[in-house]
Amino acid sequence: MVATVKSLTLEEFLQLPETKPASEFIDGQVSQKPMPQGKHSRLQLKLCNAIAPIAEEPKLAGVFPELRCTFGGASIVPDIAIVRWNGIPREASGQVANRFNLHPDWAIEILSPDQSQTKVLGNLLHCSQHGTELGWLLDPAEESILIVFGDQKVQLLSGDRPIPTLSSIPLLLTVEQVFSWLSL
Amino acid sequence: MVATVKSLTLEEFLQLPETKPASEFIDGQVSQKPMPQGKHSRLQLKLCNAIAPIAEEPKLAGVFPELRCTFGGASIVPDIAIVRWNGIPREASGQVANRFNLHPDWAIEILSPDQSQTKVLGNLLHCSQHGTELGWLLDPAEESILIVFGDQKVQLLSGDRPIPTLSSIPLLLTVEQVFSWLSL
């Protein structure tokens, strides 16, 4: 999470070559996401695997890990972005587009060790302000999930509490279940 | 931030000797606050010094650093608790009481390095659920302040944004001003 370049416009930022891990632009600042580690990688995969069959097979929503979303003067890369099926940008051919100039409908972030939670929460609040219905912020160290609703309301969940999901996606998960995926 | 004892009731927790730094009890878990360091200490003092004259001289509210507040099944020790003047518990003598079995009206937390922001935000959301009108969560590393409103709504502020204060307390501060106190 290092500020690499300052005083750029969003347009100038978008001209820069992609970095790995991805860089994000928000509030006029550029910062690079942390290198994902074991717990992050595992939770990201397992969440995608849990959500995709329920969301994609009935064509309710698409699941996009590490997708750049540019909207509201910022360009962020949620760990998982879920976009309702009809809102997925498509090329004339019908294929999915490469550029997503829109907010995700559901954004999931997984906190990495030493990552600034303020910054990640700031990304989800930016989403919330610009139309995203739901955000999840997973904290593996605390085994809790902060839910960010559309009106910047938040709720902290742990234990056997069921987690709110994007409306119309019938996914039933508890916080415990999600973090149990870390045990091999 | 180490869980020291488990499976205690709130009553059992309150019988334990006080620790230094203070221990807190929330969601059935006991954890000890981190040892305050330089930035934390400085911000705590300067905030108290900014708020106290405006709040206490006109008898609007009392300012209490490191005050144990026990309410809603939890016992927490905000870095600064502000309680409206008429709500301050008093002994028959008229002196301030030692036990505050109430929620603060305004709670301020200052993040320490390596402290779990999820845990501190959890404390402020507990406050918000139990009647606290306003919470501030200062992140010195990001120079930003997360505002927690009474209905669990949050807002992330930085730069020259004015900070909402407890209604009727005419304190005008920007986020920049607060963190400028760190420069000697």
Chain A residues in contact with B144 (beta carbon < 8 A): 118, 122
A73-129: pLDDT as tens digits: 999 999 999 999 999 999 999 999 999 999 999 999 999 998 999 999 999 999 999
**Distance from C-alpha of B52 to C-alpha of B110, rounded to nearest angstrom:** 17
Residue B122 and residue A141: Cβ atoms within 8 Å?
no
**Which residues of chain B register pLDDT less than 50?**
1, 5
Q: Among B120, B118, B39, B2, which residue's Cα sits nearest to residue A179?
A: B118
Residue A118 and residue B144: Cβ atoms within 8 Å?
yes
Nearest to B152 among A111, A142, A155 (CB): A155
pLDDT value, residue B135: 98
Establish if A152 touches chain B: CB-CB under 8 angstroms. Answer: yes
Establish if A153 touches chain B: CB-CB under 8 angstroms. Answer: yes
Nearest to A139 among B118, B144, B146 (CB): B118
**Distance from C-alpha of A72 to C-alpha of A54, rounded to nearest angstrom:** 29
Chain B residues in contact with A120 (beta carbon < 8 A): none
**Distance from C-alpha of A55 to C-alpha of A68, rounded to nearest angstrom:** 20
Are the CB atoms for B108 and B165 separated by under 8 Å?
no
Chain A nearest CA to B120, separation (Å): 11
**Distance from C-alpha of A8 to C-alpha of A29, rounded to nearest angstrom:** 8
Q: Among B157, B149, B130, B153, which residue's Cα sits nearest to residue A154?
A: B153
Residue B118 and residue A152: Cβ atoms within 8 Å?
no
Chain A nearest CA to B44, separation (Å): 19
pLDDT value, residue A5: 46
Which domains are assigned to chain B? 36-180 (3.90.1570.10)
Chain A residues in contact with B155 (beta carbon < 8 A): 125, 152
Beta bridge partners of B3: B31
Q: What is the mean pLDDT of chain A?
A: 94
Chain B residue with the nearest C-alpha to that of A144: B118
As a whole number of Å, the end-to-end CA separation of chain B is 29
Beta bridge partners of B144: B139, B158
Chain A residues in contact with B151 (beta carbon < 8 A): 153
Residue A118 and residue B152: Cβ atoms within 8 Å?
no
ipTM value of the model?
0.81
Beta bridge partners of A75: A25, A70
Nearest to B118 among A27, A117, A152 (CB): A117
Residue B119 and residue A125: Cβ atoms within 8 Å?
no
Q: What number of CA atoms fall less than 13 Å from residue A59's CA on the CB side? A: 2
Chain B residue with the nearest C-alpha to that of A153: B153
- A69-71 sheet: strands from edge to edge: A29-32, A23-26, A74-76, A69-71
Q: Among B126, B108, B101, which residue's Cα sits nearest to residue B28?
A: B126
pLDDT value, residue B6: 54
Establish if B157 touches chain A: CB-CB under 8 angstroms. Answer: no
A18-27: pLDDT as tens digits: 999 999 999 9
**Distance from C-alpha of B156 to C-alpha of B121, rounded to nearest angstrom:** 12
Supply the angle between the helices A117-129 and B117-129 in degrees, to the nearest 10.
50
pLDDT value, residue A6: 54
